[in-house]
Amino acid sequence: MTGKLNSYITESFEKCFLNNCLVLFGEAYQYIKGNVGISIDWEEENISATIFDYIDKSENAISWNINISDEHRLYYRNVLIGNITAKKASRIDFRLTTNWTEQKKRLEYYIEAKNLIESDCYKKGRKTKINAKGLHERYINTGIDNFISGKYPLNGCLVGYVLQGNSNIIVEKINDCLKSKNRDSEQLLKFNKLLPCIKFCFKSNHKNGFKLNHYMLNF
């Protein structure tokens, strides 16, 4: 009985931490959307910088004992034993952590973000249009596939910075890309998750039972 109770407490604490991470992300998105004026001209890294700055200073983050780091290097065994130089270690956009002192345990959650648009469009100072399909392919190749391959930790999610167009249509186009790769079973499916500020929530199923959540932030 004690073992089951401890397992329940651990699971509840971890779920609360995960939910709080997403709440913080949603709060940052709401603030930035209302006060910063993100446009198609913004670089992915600059959007991430504004989100990082908001969460880093958030009273809720301090109250919930959640810390955030950006451009977090992932030091796997090949780096630690010197087979790969640390300079070439993979990076993920965000790492959120909390310390559970009673259990002497650190919880972590990782978020990778990608710029997305619905259709080809121009960016200031650029003579050619941004290729929308190229961004959809990139979302799969350096987003979804990096989680599946283990390049990114499995305890994480993908976030789309939607700079132009409709989130649902963009997801349909990402699914079309997956179909073209004969990966129909991995399509993004909408699901209801009660999160303040984050409306577009999706999930995808992959090999070995891995499930990945996707959140679209429409700027």
Q: Which residues are 115's β-sheet partners?
A: 161
What is the total count of domains within the chain? 1
28-46: average pLDDT: 94
Which pLDDT band holds residue 58 (cuts at 50, 70, 90)? very high
> What local confidence, expressed as pLDDT, does residue 4 receive?
57
Number of H helices, E strands in the chain: 7, 7
Contact (Cβ atoms closer than 8 angstroms) between residue 160 and residue 216: yes
Give the torsion sign (CA, 124, 125, 128, 134): negative
pLDDT top residue among 56 and 2: 56
Q: Is pLDDT of 1 > 60?
A: no
Give the structural domain span for 101: 2-218
Contact (Cβ atoms closer than 8 angstroms) between residue 195 and residue 201: yes
Percentage, residues of the chain above pLDDT 70 = 98
> What local confidence, expressed as pLDDT, does residue 39 receive?
93
Among 15-19, 193-197, 208-212, the least confident range: 193-197
Give the torsion sign (CA, 214, 78, 70, 120): negative
Task: Name residue 74's amino acid.
Answer: L
Tokens of 217: 């932030």
> What local confidence, expressed as pLDDT, does residue 5 receive?
52
Which DSSP string corresponds to 21-76?
Answer: HHHHHHHHHHHHHHHT---TT--HHHHHHHHHHHHHH-HHHHHTT-EEEEEEE---
For the stretch 106-136, pLDDT in tens is 999 999 999 999 999 998 888 899 999 999 9
Which residues, other chains included, contact 12 with Cβ-Cβ below 8 Å and sequence gap of 6+? none
77-97: average pLDDT: 91
> What local confidence, expressed as pLDDT, does residue 96 receive?
98
Q: What is the pTM of this model?
A: 0.93
